[in-house]
Structure 1
Amino acid sequence: MSSRLLLCTDMDRTIIPNGAQKEPATARQDLKTFCDRPEVTLVYVTGRHQVLVQNAIEEYQLPYPDYVISDVGTKIYQTQQNEWQVLDQWESTIDQDWHGKTHQDLLDILSLLDGLELQEPSKQNTHKLSYYVSLSTDIDRLLKEAETLLQAQHVEASLIWSIDEAENIGLLDVLPKNATKLHAIQFLQHFLDYSLDEVVFAGDSGNDLPVLTSEIHSVLVANASDDIKKQAIQLAHANNTMDALYLAQNQSDQNGNYAAGVLQGVGHYIPAFQNI
């Protein structure tokens, strides 16, 4: 039985109670108490950049992490005594996907396309280009044209499209092909020399599905939407990984929302950690 844990968790609507559902009263304090255990290494896995992660930790009184996978998987930080140190080994790994091309090189390549508006500097980094795109744009055509231009320059990239419903604007991230939550967690697992049964991931949304339905022991918190739960089950069945997917439950003493669901899932996979 494992005596240590690499706990990797999404932030928004997973441990941050910024969804519509009710958070158990002691959920975050219970999580902080749990993560104070010396055998627990805590990793936040998020689309937020460094400042937004730090703001969330302070605003929501979250446990301080040991590592942060941020910016949609393009950055890994080690955090010690409030000092954030970029993990250069990860930078070198994902840099290979762009075959020597820089952020500026990709800007120049994609400048041939109409309809792309570069986002603020705080939302860019060495391996992440982020654009605003009008929702009136033919996005399928735009993505195909962008992919064609990048491939012609031997750039292996992931094009991540999403919509900011509050601002009514499209968002396009251009990342190295392997700069994903799943690849970053797997990299950190091997970098820190954890076995697969010593790793647990928790998430709630569509961008967590590649991890939730992988071989990594994963927890889908109870406040996730019914559609995400359905997709997770279908994909896990297709991937033959149902044994590695746990759906947090509403129990008699506490619901499985947010951090309470995370801890419930940890106890499911590693019974030694059930009593916090």
Structure 2
Amino acid sequence: MVSLRLVCSAAGPPRADNPVPNQAPKNQTIRPRPQATANPQPLRRSTAAPQPSVELAYSTGWSGASLHGSIAGQEWQTLGLKPVVSGAGAWHHLNLPVPAQGNPPTPLLEFVMTNGASGWDKPTEGGHYTIAAPGRYCLQHGRVESVAHSRRLLLVTDLDDTLVGDDEATAAFRDWWLARAMPAGARLVYNTGRALGLFEDLLCAKRGLLPEPDLLLSAVGTRVYERGAEGAWRAAPGHAPRLDAGWDLEAVRDAAYAALAAVGRDAMHFRPPAEQNEHKVTCGVHVGALARVAQDVRERLARHGVQLRLVASGVGDWRFLDLVPMAAGKRQAMDFAAETLGFRHEDIVAAGDSGNDVDMLEGAPAAIVVANAQPDLLEWVERSRSPGVIRTRGSRAWGILEGLERLGCGFQPPTL
């Protein structure tokens, strides 16, 4: 089974350059993944009733924080909170399973906060913090407040010309994220065509402006990264094995080389090694040869029983052609991110500006298309007429903020 999506979008910063000719294939060793015959397994969405819990977002200047408290009158215990990557070091999080209700007059949860040394955080009026029922809460400035009225939000957004491209807008988004989204327990995911190195370059260039994401989805959904405890980005566990079903890297590369031999180097070339990985083979193909190359690759791999997705993108005479597993793609990576971060599918809001975001936007229950969107994406909006798609008047990050406001996420955008 082969899927081909032709995506006509600008091939700019995410790839660092355009897929121009005269870039000879470079030798590299990529360990082939074993071919699997099973179909890719969809992500499982549980229908069981969730266990009652207290979700606590905590704002503090401490580098580490713990909750010291009693659940429903039981023995006091100390539980560590997890830092929230997108919280810029100021936010920590705890998801604590609890009984459905307390045993009056005993509160469901009675607690104080500590940094594990001599630091203690208690209510300004004295005593202990208390929570009476399961739900979502925020603790900051010495007060516990329910945030159950706030939309549960997993924001999955493209980067170039969506969240970045206007520094003033990106800074406004950062401020909103820390002041409004963090207290409500939101999480931030970047879904980008940039490889990890190019993303890190962007993060360095926009230091102080661009929040770090809780997960990074990279390379057409073939790579998912999380921030490790030591501070470096590392592969998120559990993602790569999902891509192996029906995938044979050696056969895919052989098919691409055969197509190159058929059309010649004036019409096709392999992209640099930094754009290749164990689950992605990327070529530059002249638009006049694109259909022939796609058909050639499709037929050769069908004979080997290899399942893959072909994603063509770019404008002008040259296009990118990504050969990836059927289980890869921006949409599939977005679903993996929701599962990994503990969000429901209906909590997802996606944002993008170009045709190669269509896969992601189609799969999201709510999608933001910013005003500077490219014509191919706007054509999709007109064709789909989905009630979940919001077209904004604001461009780039201003558009994201406008879309979030229209979805009830509580930000009032500036007058446009």
Q: Shorter-chain TM-score category?
A: 0.7 to 0.9
Large movers: runs of 4+ above 4 Å = none
| Superposition deviation, residue 95 in structure 1 | 1.3
| 2:352 pairs with 1:203 | yes
Which residue number in structure 1 is paired with residue 199 of structure 2? Answer: 53
Which residue number in structure 1 is paired with residue 177 of structure 2? Answer: 35
| 2:237 pairs with 1:88 | yes
Match among 163, 171, 174 for residue 15 of structure 1 = 163
Per-residue CA shift, 1:58-98, capped at 9, x if unaligned? 22341111111100111111124642121231211121131
Select between 260-269 and 211-220 the one with higher mean Cα deviation. Answer: 211-220
Inter-partner Cα distance in structure 1 for 2:371 and 2:290: 33
Inter-partner Cα distance in structure 2 for 1:171 and 1:230: 20
Identify if the C-alpha distance between structure 1 residues 228 and 112 changes in structure 2 by more than 3 Å, giving closer, same or farther: closer
Which residues in structure 2 correspond to 1:125-274 (within 5 Å)? 125-135=277-287, 137-163=288-314, 165=316, 169-235=318-384, 237=385, 242-249=386-393, 256-269=394-407, 271-274=408-411
One-letter amino acid of the structure 2 residue matched with residue 111 of structure 1: Y
Match among 193, 206, 217 for residue 69 of structure 1 = 217
Identify if the C-alpha distance between structure 1 residues 145 and 14 changes in structure 2 by more than 3 Å, giving closer, same or farther: same
Residues 355 and 376 in structure 2, CA contact (< 8 A), matched pair in contact too? no
One-letter amino acid of the structure 1 residue matched with residue 232 of structure 2: E
Secondary structure at 1:73 match in 2:
coil
Which residue number in structure 1 is paired with residue 254 of structure 2? Answer: 108
Residues 43 and 65 in structure 1, CA contact (< 8 A), matched pair in contact too? yes
Inter-partner Cα distance in structure 1 for 2:351 and 2:357: 8
Max radius of gyration: which structure? 2
Higher helix share: 1
Give the unaligned 5+ runs of structure 1: 18-22, 250-255
| Superposition deviation, residue 209 in structure 1 | 1.7
| Superposition deviation, residue 132 in structure 1 | 2.4
Residues 204 and 220 in structure 1, CA contact (< 8 A), matched pair in contact too? yes
Residues 124 and 130 in structure 1, CA contact (< 8 A), matched pair in contact too? yes
Residues 212 and 232 in structure 1, CA contact (< 8 A), matched pair in contact too? no
Inter-partner Cα distance in structure 1 for 2:177 and 2:306: 40
Residues 156 and 350 in structure 2, CA contact (< 8 A), matched pair in contact too? yes
Identify if the C-alpha distance between structure 1 residues 62 and 215 changes in structure 2 by more than 3 Å, giving closer, same or farther: closer
Aligned residues: percent identity? Answer: 28
Inter-partner Cα distance in structure 2 for 1:42 and 1:34: 12
CA RMSD of aligned residues (A): 2.2
| 2:158 pairs with 1:6 | no
Residues 310 and 322 in structure 2, CA contact (< 8 A), matched pair in contact too? yes
Inter-partner Cα distance in structure 1 for 2:412 and 2:286: 50
Per-residue CA shift, 1:218-239, capped at 9, x if unaligned? 100111135532421322x3xx
Residues 45 and 68 in structure 1, CA contact (< 8 A), matched pair in contact too? yes
Per-residue CA shift, 1:160-191, capped at 9, x if unaligned? 223464xx533221101121111111122123
Identify if the C-alpha distance between structure 1 residues 272 and 232 changes in structure 2 by more than 3 Å, giving closer, same or farther: closer
| 2:257 pairs with 1:119 | no
Identify if the C-alpha distance between structure 1 residues 195 and 2 changes in structure 2 by more than 3 Å, giving closer, same or farther: farther
Select between 88-97 and 109-118 the one with higher mean Cα deviation. Answer: 109-118
Inter-partner Cα distance in structure 2 for 1:88 and 1:148: 33
Which residue number in structure 2 is paired with residue 252 of structure 1? Answer: none
Inter-partner Cα distance in structure 2 for 1:133 and 1:272: 42
Identify if the C-alpha distance between structure 1 residues 160 and 225 changes in structure 2 by more than 3 Å, giving closer, same or farther: closer
| Superposition deviation, residue 243 in structure 1 | 2.4
One-letter amino acid of the structure 2 residue matched with residue 129 of structure 1: V
Identify if the C-alpha distance between structure 1 residues 272 and 266 changes in structure 2 by more than 3 Å, giving closer, same or farther: closer
Which residue number in structure 2 is paired with residue 44 of structure 1? Answer: 190
